[in-house]
Amino acid sequence: MENKENLELKRHSGAHILAAAVQALFPGTKLGIGPAIENGFYYDFLSEHKFTPEDLKAIEAKMKEIIKAKEPFVCKTFSKNDAKKLFMERGEVFKFELIEDLPGDEVSVYYSGDFVDLCRGPHIEHTGVFGNFKLTHVAGAYWRGDEKRPQLQRIYAIAFNTKDELNAYIKQQEEAAKRDHRKLGAELDLFSINEDIGPGLILWHPKGGMLRKNLEDWIRNENVRRGYDIVFSPHIARLHLWQKSGHANFYGENMFSPIKVDEQEYQLKPMNCPFHIAIYNSQLRSYRDLPIRLAELGTVYRYERSGVLHGLLRVRGFTQDDAHIFCTSEQVEKEVEACFNFAMHVMKTFGFANFKVELSTWDEKNPQNYTGKAEDWAHAQSALENVLKANNIPYTSHTGEAAFYGPKIDIKLIDAIGRPWQLSTIQFDFNLPERFDLTYVAAEGRKRPLMVHRALLGSIERFIGILIEHYAGLFPLWLAPVQAKILTLTDEQLPFAKEVKAALNQNLLRVVIDDRPEKLGAKIRQAHLEKAPYTIIVGAKEAETKTVTLRLRSGKNIEGIKLDELASKLKEEVDTLSLVNLFS
């Protein structure tokens, strides 16, 4: 029971135990579905009773009784008609509907004690095998994800093989709650979401705007250093473009409805790639021009259901750190390696020491599911693998997980509390060059370039959300919106405080003065809550000696620092993108 498959088996069985406990405590409750999910399971219920945190405690206790009873899981096979009769007699209208949609003439039903559920199985031997779980919360969920269908109550649970794993996960979640970017974003006045503007659309406040500017300036400059051309494209284009690219068909459910302009239908862009292709196709290209690397921080718009929107992490309007590389077959491995090295530089710069790499390849036994020639797929996959092997990068390979248009490398960073986040992607595309008839002139005539999509930060919004939680709002100096707060004891020190601010501003450091008529302790507490990297204290002694007392985030005070030393060292910390305070 230690491997991943059997853990999933336990979790799915746990969902049945949860449902059995709910129906025992709340008779008349109707069953939805109850799958295993990452880290646990859930079950959907239709009940007149609204489940509360106190109810979860009672349900947990009932589940433990069922576990202690070691009730066997017994599978029985029914004809679909008999199964429909069984569940209709029990008033399980949702199960009746599911049976109608199942293929074949027979279905399997699982029994455990008095509980009965439609399920394909398999399950653990008996309820006593299950344990090490905790019910976490209740959320709303529409039946089959349809907002026009009944809204059910979804009870979530976490479950692991051992109690130590369960406790470690609970501790991680408690830490994650403290770091929640939505909570910190409000406390630090970084961003907000306004219902009048619409869910999933972000308003960046001045401090958040400065944080975002610092990030965007860095990534744009890095693109230029690495031979990318910076481009800009519109937020909207004729629907015809998205039909030609295939997005209207393959991605239509994630796109907003078209709008009419001058009797033509236009579409908010969900992707940047067709625009970059149009730039490539704006003139005849020679093999001497390649590789062409086009980079853009392009804002895109995608329809996400309101139930899945989540702060900065899942939005409807976001800016992609996007780039497309057009190159020859001979150049592609070098380009992929450069992309991978760029991704590693991103990880290091922002303090992510741990990451996982996944390679998604095609299923060569079913070439009909993919676009492009077999030799192109082999060459592309070889280029990706060679780069990983040459850099001694451990990776997992997933056959058949490639998109229909090309293989890819995905890089998942591991944050400060051990959570994985999908970040960088290096993706081949055999589809769009064909659809848009991309060519270049080689010595032997017209040829088709290879096209690589490359995203390093992914969505700027999502990446900032990750950064907020990774750093718990304690940004390194170069990223911090406010890098230092100057605190005065009385108005008599205000002239010198302004002198300090001017000296630091001369070095492009972002500094504010707190000259409120408050006690110093209150000002220090406020600076601590605002998570400024440094607090500069200016009292009578400092004003007289033309020095400052520097307070670190740790609470340590360093006295007698001269202005030129302060400015020089803070500037060095910013210029070197240091992740640690040079004064500590």
For 425-449, what is each residue's pLDDT tens digit?
999 999 999 999 999 999 889 999 9
Angle between helices 374-390 and 332-349 (to 10 degrees): 40
Query: Is 148 strand, coil or helix?
Result: coil
Instruction: Verify whether residue 267 is a known catalytic residue.
Output: no
Model confidence at 66: pLDDT above 90: yes
Rg (CA), the chain: 29
3-state secondary structure of 60: helix
Residue at 292: amino acid letter: I
Res. 583 pLDDT band, cuts 50 70 90 = confident
- Choosing from 273, 314, 410, 531, the catalytic residue is 273
Dump pLDDT digits (tens) for 157-177. 999 999 999 999 999 999 999
Give catalytic status of residue 126 as yes or no.
Answer: no
Higher-scoring residue by pLDDT: 439, 376: 439
Identify the active-site residue in 322, 410, 415, 514. 322
Q: Averaged over 254-266, what is the pLDDT?
A: 92
Would you state the structure tokens that stand for residue 73, as one six-digit string?
A: 């899981």
The reply to whether 453 belongs to the active site is yes
* Contact between residue 130 and residue 76 where contact means Cβ atoms under 8 Å apart: no
List 212, 247, 453, 501, catalytic entry: 453
Q: For residues 569 and 118, what is the distance between their CA atoms, to the nearest angstrom?
A: 67
Judged by DSSP in three states, 574 sits in helix
* Predicted pLDDT of residue 75: 96
Q: What does the pLDDT look like over 462-501, one tens digit per residue?
A: 999 999 999 999 999 999 999 999 999 999 999 999 999 9
Q: What is the pLDDT of residue 3?
A: 62
Predicted local distance difference test score (pLDDT) of residue 306: 82
Residue 360: half-sphere exposure toward Cβ, Cα within 13 Å: 16
Residue 327 bears catalytic tag: no
Active-site residue identified among 324, 462, 485, 551:
324
- Strand pairing class (534-538; 484-488): parallel
Helix (H, G, I), strand (E, B) or coil at 166: helix
Output the DSSP codes for 111-123: EETTEEEE-----
CA distance 76 to 364: 38
Identify the CA nearest to 275 among candidates 430, 406, 461, 432: 432
Query: Which of 2-6, 257-261, 379-383 comes out lowest in average pLDDT?
Result: 2-6
Cβ contacts of residue 53 below 8 Å, gap of 6+? Answer: none
Two tokens at 132? 């090490």
Q: What is the largest CA-CA distance in the chain?
A: 93
Q: Is 422 a catalytic residue?
A: no
- Which of 320, 381, 427, 483 is catalytic? The answer is 320
Q: What is the residue-wise DSSP string for 298-354? A: EEEE----GGG-BTTTB-SEEEEEEEEEEE-TTTHHHHHHHHHHHHHHHHHHTT--E
Closest Cα to residue 343, out of 380, 381, 400, 388?
Answer: 388
Question: Which one from 16, 154, 276, 302 is the annotated catalytic residue?
Answer: 302
Other residues' Cβ atoms within 10 Å of the Cβ of residue 264: 11
Q: Which amino acid is at 248?
A: A
- Domains along the chain? 4-179 (3.30.980.10), 212-230+283-471 (3.30.930.10), 234-271 (no CATH), 484-575 (3.40.50.800)
- The one-letter code for the residue type at 349 is T
User: Using one digit for the tens of pLDDT, what is the confidence trace for 77-132?
Assistant: 999 999 999 999 999 999 999 999 898 899 999 999 999 999 998 999 999 999 99
Q: What is the model's pTM?
A: 0.88
User: Does the annotation mark 235 as catalytic?
Assistant: no
> How does residue 146 score in pLDDT terms, banded at 50, 70 and 90?
confident
Confidence of residue 1 (pLDDT cuts 50, 70, 90): very low
State the average pLDDT for the chain: 94
> pLDDT of 338-355, one tens digit each?
999 999 999 999 999 999
Q: Which pLDDT does position 4 carry in this prediction?
A: 65
Backbone conformation region of residue 246, classed left if phi is above 0, alpha if psi is from -120 to 50, else beta: left
Confirm if 319 and 298 have CB atoms less than 8 A apart. Answer: yes
302 tagged catalytic:
yes
Choose among 194, 275, 273, 178: nearest CA to 470: 178
Whether the pLDDT of residue 409 is over 90: the answer is yes
What is the predicted pLDDT for the residue at 35? 94
Residues of the chain with pLDDT > 70: what percent?
99
Q: How far is CA 344 from CA 326, 348, 393, 423, 540, in A?
A: 22, 6, 11, 11, 48
Residue type, 190: L
Q: Measure the CA dihedral 387/391/394/395, to 10°.
A: -20
